[in-house]
Amino acid sequence: MATRQSVHEFIHRCEETLNFAEEQLTEARRQEHYNDYEFSQAQQQLENANNDLAHLALSCNAQQKEQLHRMRLQIQELQNEMILQDH
């Protein structure tokens, strides 16, 4: 079973990833193709976080799974926005 601390730390890392990706999406909307590398890195980090989240959820209790589910929804929403961005 995942500890509360490990879930908390993982959610914190996901929030940092979300912040970085949101910054890159904002930059992409402003500058279009001038931040391709960072934009791709942000997309990769979101995908990695989503994959790690799925693995962590396997060893969580119901409350932790709910927290991770909400985080997954945020990650997937931002991934969709980045995919739809004409970049």
Mean pLDDT over 1-20 rounds to 93
Query: pLDDT at position 87, please?
Result: 59
Rg (CA), the chain: 14
Tally the domains of the chain: 1
The confidence score (pLDDT) of residue 31 equals 82
Q: What is the DSSP letter of 58?
A: T
Please check whether residue 42 is in contact with residue 78, taking contact to mean a CB–CB distance below 8 angstroms: no
Give residue 79's domain range: 4-84
Q: Whole-angstrom Cα distance, residue 13 to residue 27?
A: 21
What one-letter code names the amino acid at 81? E
pLDDT tens digits, one per residue of 37-87 = 999 999 999 999 999 999 999 999 999 999 999 999 999 999 999 999 865
pLDDT interval class at 32 (50, 70, 90): confident
> Is residue 19 scored above 90 in pLDDT?
yes
Tokens of 33: 């193709």
The angle at the Cα of 20, spanning 17 to 22, to the nearest 5 degrees, equals 105
